[in-house]
Amino acid sequence: MDEKPRGRLKPDRVPIPSIKPAERISSFDECLLLYTKEQAIEEAQRCIQCARPWCVEACPIDQDCRLYLKQIAEGDFEGAVGTILKDNPMASCLGKVCYSYCEPACVIGKRGDPVAIRHLKWAALAYGNGSRTYELEWIRDKAVAIVGFGPAGLTAAWVLARRGYAVTVFESSHKLGGLVTQTIPPYRLSPETFGEDMRRLEHLKIEFRQGVRVGDDLDVKDLFDMGYAAIFIGIGTHKPGTLNVPGNDLPGVYIALDFLKSVFDGDRPPIGGTVAIIGGGDVAVDCSRTVLRLGVDKSIILYRRTRDEMPAFDEEVEDALAEGVEVRYLVSPIEFRGRDVVESVVCQKMELGPLDESGRRRPVPVKGEEIVLPVDHVIVAIGQKADLSVIPDMGLRIDKDGIVVANPETCETSIEGIFAGGGRSIVHAMATGRRAAESIAKYLEGKAVTPTAASPQ
Ligand SMILES: Cc1cc2nc3c(=O)[nH]c(=O)nc-3n(C[C@H](O)[C@H](O)[C@H](O)COP(=O)(O)OP(=O)(O)OC[C@H]3O[C@@H](n4cnc5c(N)ncnc54)[C@H](O)[C@@H]3O)c2cc1C
Ligand code: SF4
Ligand code: SF4
């Protein structure tokens, strides 16, 4: 980065308002609060409008945040909404829970706090006309099937429907939105927020067939016989990782994704007392904060490395700690014990060794040092991956994040007319959905499928 903050730089961010930790754990209401109009304008005015906007380059969907910040700084919230929605069909969700890849790239961060780019997206939508809809521009006679309606499928559907293709979505869940609506807790993202994004799509020609699991209810290739000229597969990462330790099948040991899905579907599994959550990622942190809101006495994250290596988004870890979640570092569960239900977790003490292939220091056991932690429940949150059993023989593989990888530049699979994508965050998944849709459009127009300008992230 060669851009240097110039002029009268304001290093301090206008603080993002939120509900106090002690108060917010008594409900699932959203914790972050909106800036006032005046606060939004003041915060946006901190942007120095860099000639080379590193923030835009860092955004996987190339959201033109420099422009929307300028518009907000001038009080033009309507203009800002137009700028945002042009690139972003999930702007309402991303304004609240994007992992804001743009912000660490912001040059103001060199001397102070980066501009609150994500939070200002929310402000723009709230104070401009965020409820405007996308309009159908023209109609073509070809139809495309989208398998899975998470952020990748939604974005692919948005691009293709706006280009006039008839889109049909096949979604196994009764909920649309994928992991966003099935698992992201409402205290970070209310279901109504996803509803705002969905309402903007209502004039496009997108048909929904829910409760259809492709691979079980019908085969991917059957979709061609049904008349679809191309298929996009965006099935996400719904196959949970399992911990192969004795006692992992004891009652009271939950799998994180299943646990979150059932809580947010209204079916609250019995939980209370001391809950140990195994893992150090965002899913573990979301479980730790969710169980607090379900009224448990203690929520303890067990992580085998240290805070520095923890993959969870820093802001979330801070929020969890403020709410009273305890984190024990350098411990790895080796057994769950209990007679009829889980009663304790036996942990091996760890220390950090040399770097591993992920570039982080590898945890190695400290011989002879074990601790036994009495617990009432355990939640295992050690990752999840795509379930490729439903879509065999397409030349697909799973990357280190568990995500389906087709051709990373064009999203083509080894079967003509079938494309695939997904991502480790909402905005990464959206980027692959857009890339795949661009490829599908070229394929349907009989053009060579070549990479689009936006590079894979
Ligand atoms: C607890 C949790 C919290 C998270 N928090 C954040 C966050 O704050 N910010 C962020 O950016 N990201 C977050 N993520 C990650 C984000 O949700 C995912 O990266 C994103 O949803 C991936 O999008 P996708 O479209 O690839 O897959 P998904 O969202 O998983 O969508 C795939 C869809 O396909 C459907 N499906 C699966 N198999 C089939 C089939 N065979 N037939 C038909 N339909 C099928 C599924 O039901 C699902 O609706 C979080 C994830 C979790 C689990
Ligand atoms: S948000 Fe930061 S990096 Fe982006 S244009 Fe403004 S000051 Fe520059
Ligand atoms: S979508 Fe996310 S990464 Fe992109 S500009 Fe918005 S907050 Fe930043």
Taking CA atoms, 333 is separated from 330, 350, 380, 393, in Å, by 10, 10, 10, 36
User: CA-to-CA distance for 430 and 91, rounded, in angstroms?
Assistant: 11
Largest CA distance in the chain: 70
Q: Is the pLDDT of residue 99 over 50?
A: yes
* Assigned CATH for 21-127: 1.10.1060.10
Kindly list the domain boundaries of the chain, sorted by start residue. 21-127, 143-238+386-444, 245-380
Q: Is the pLDDT of residue 281 over 90?
A: yes
- 143 Cβ contact list (under 8 Å, min separation 6): 165, 166, 167, 168, 227, 228, 229
Pairing of strands 344-355, 331-337: antiparallel
Across the range 419-437, mean pLDDT stands at 96
Across the range 20-34, mean pLDDT stands at 96
Query: Nearest ligand to the C-alpha of residue 168?
Result: 1
Evaluate whether 21-127 and 245-380 have a shared fold.
no
| Cα-to-centroid distance, 5 and ligand 2 (Å) | 9
| Cα-to-centroid distance, 61 and ligand 1 (Å) | 17
Across the range 376-403, mean pLDDT stands at 84
Domain 143-238+386-444 sits in which CATH superfamily?
A: FAD/NAD(P)-binding domain (3.50.50.60)
pLDDT of 2: 47
Tokens read off for 12: 């301090």
User: CA-to-CA distance for 372 and 346, rounded, in angstroms?
Assistant: 4
Return the residue whose CA atom lies nearest to atom 6 of ligand 3: 118
pLDDT in tens, 305-349: 999 999 999 999 999 999 999 999 999 999 999 999 999 999 999
Q: Give first-to-last CA distance, the chain, whole Å.
A: 19
101 lines ligand 3 (CB under 6 A): yes
Return the residue whose CA atom lies nearest to atom 4 of ligand 2: 55
pLDDT of 245: 95
pLDDT in tens, 226-262: 999 999 999 999 888 888 999 999 999 999 999 999 9
The residue assigned the tokens 């060794």 is 353
Q: Per-residue confidence at 396, pLDDT binned at 50, 70, 90? A: confident
Return the residue whose CA atom lies nearest to atom 26 of ligand 1: 422
Taking CA atoms, 358 is separated from 141, 320, 354, 362, in Å, by 47, 25, 11, 9
| Cα-to-centroid distance, 238 and ligand 1 (Å) | 8
Tokens read off for 247: 């006692």
User: CA-to-CA distance for 367 and 334, rounded, in angstroms?
Assistant: 13
Comparing CA positions, the residue from 245, 443, 205 lying closest to residue 348 is: 245
Q: Rounded mean pLDDT of the chain?
A: 93
Q: Per-residue confidence at 405, pLDDT binned at 50, 70, 90? A: confident
CATH of 245-380, one of 3.30.230.10, 3.50.50.60, 2.60.40.10, 3.40.50.720: 3.50.50.60
Across the range 346-367, mean pLDDT stands at 90
What percent of the chain lies above the pLDDT cut of 90?
80
| Cα-to-centroid distance, 35 and ligand 1 (Å) | 28
pLDDT of 455: 42
Comparing CA positions, the residue from 59, 5, 37 lying closest to residue 122 is: 37
59 lines ligand 3 (CB under 6 A): yes
Ligand 1 binding residues, C-beta < 6 A:
97-99, 147-153, 170-173, 178-180, 183-184, 213-215, 234-238, 260, 282-283, 286, 390, 422-427, 429
Pairing of strands 230-233, 418-420: parallel
**Which residue of 32, 69, 117 sits with most ligand 3 atoms within 8 Å of its CB, as the best mutation to test the pocket?**
117
pLDDT of 1: 46
Across the range 128-141, mean pLDDT stands at 88
**Cα 202 from chain centroid (whole Å):** 23
| Cα-to-centroid distance, 305 and ligand 1 (Å) | 26
The three-state DSSP-derived secondary structure of the chain is CCCCCCCCCCCCCCCCCECCHHHHCCCCCCCECCCCHHHHHHHHCCCCCCCCCHHHHHCCCCCCHHHHHHHHHCCCHHHHHHHHHHHCCCHHHHHHHCCCCCHHHCHHHHCCCCCCHHHHHHHHHHHCCCCCCCCCCCCCCCEEEEECCCHHHHHHHHHHHHCCCEEEEEECCCCCCCHHHHCCCCCCCCHHHHHHHHHCCCCCCEEEEECCCECCCECCCHHHHCCCCEEEECCCCCEECCCCCCCCCCCCEEEHHHHHHHHHCCCCCCCCCEEEEECCCHHHHHHHHHHHHCCCCEEEEECCCCHHHCCCCHHHHHHHHHHCCEEECCEEEEEEECCCCCCEEEEEEEEEEEECCCCCEEEEEEEEEEEEEECCEEEECCCEECCHHHCCCCCCEECCCCCEECCCCCCECCCCCEEECCCCCHHHHHHHHHHHHHHHHHHHCCCCCCCCCCCCC
Bridge partners (DSSP) of residue 371 are 347
Q: Per-residue confidence at 392, pLDDT binned at 50, 70, 90? A: confident
| Cα-to-centroid distance, 23 and ligand 2 (Å) | 34
Task: Identify whether the C-beta of residue 324 lies closer than 8 Å to the C-beta of residue 292.
Answer: yes
User: CA-to-CA distance for 441 and 451, rounded, in angstroms?
Assistant: 12
Q: Per-residue confidence at 453, pLDDT binned at 50, 70, 90? A: low
Query: Nearest ligand to the C-alpha of residue 425?
Result: 1
pLDDT of 3: 53
pLDDT of 7: 55
Q: Who wins on pLDDT, 93 or 138?
A: 93
| Cα-to-centroid distance, 431 and ligand 3 (Å) | 11
User: CA-to-CA distance for 166 and 227, rounded, in angstroms?
Assistant: 11
Return the residue whose CA atom lies nearest to atom 39 of ligand 1: 235
**Which residue of 179, 259, 400 sits with most ligand 1 atoms within 8 Å of its CB, as the best mutation to test the pocket?**
179
Tally of CB atoms within 10 A around 202: 9
Across the range 106-112, mean pLDDT stands at 95
Ligand 2 binding residues, C-beta < 6 A:
47-50, 53-55, 66, 69, 106-108, 115, 117
